[in-house]
A and B are shown apart, each in its own frame.
Chain A
């Protein structure tokens, strides 16, 4: 079964450092997303991406965050200057336009900012 792949699975970084989280969505999907989940809290929407541009972003997705699809397969989330409160599990997801098959989530990157 096709899957969304995320790397790395764990990342520890110092406060103020830049991190890039990587994702390879399912190949025939057209919509890509980043979500985050702080430990013990709900899954929160960050950003959606379609046709090589951001289609929607949440209040969480401020100027410290950016997304990019540098080639035909990768989809990245960059946090420019990490803060302690950025520590969370970050999930990438992709979907077909109809959403009939649901949004498929990657296994996540656990980011710890120290």
Chain B
């Protein structure tokens, strides 16, 4: 089976930096994704890591350590519009099957 853990809620101040952690256990690991989801909307792709290390994309960075089953999403220069749920998701490949399994999400609230 798969197990993905991330904090339920986080709060940060506008302009600050926040790090959202995710730990996972899975077989057939083939990538870790971060998505942003505003209430009532679809998940929006933020980043993807398949190899160890840091991927930077503007204000967002994501890190992966496969040996530790650990990833984090770093958000810099927080803006009010960054208030959303951040979903960690693990892709597993088995033959022609590709399954993306989501964690429960971290609800981030950005305060003025």
Contact = CB atoms under 8 A, between A and B. Distances in A.
Interface of A: 31, 33, 35, 41-45, 48, 50-51, 55-56, 89, 91, 93, 95, 99-108
A99 B94 contact: no
Contact of B100 (A33, A41, A101, A108): A33
B66 to A, nearest CB: 16
Nearest to A103: B100
Nearest to A101: B45
Interface residues of B, number: 27
B31 interface: yes
Interface in B17-57: 30-31, 33, 35, 37, 40-45, 48
Given A33-B100, A102-B33, A102-B48, A43 B94 contact: no
Given A31-B98, A33-B100, A102-B35, 19 more contacts: A42-B102, A43-B87, A43-B89, A48-B97, A48-B98, A48-B99, A55-B97, A56-B94, A56-B97, A56-B98, A56-B99, A99-B33, A101-B45, A103-B45, A103-B100, A104-B45, A105-B42, A105-B44, A107-B41
B33 A103 contact: yes
A45 B99 contact: yes
Contacts of B43: 43, 91, 105
Residue of B33, B43, B44, B103 with highest tally of chain A CB at under 10 A = B43
B31 A99 contact: yes
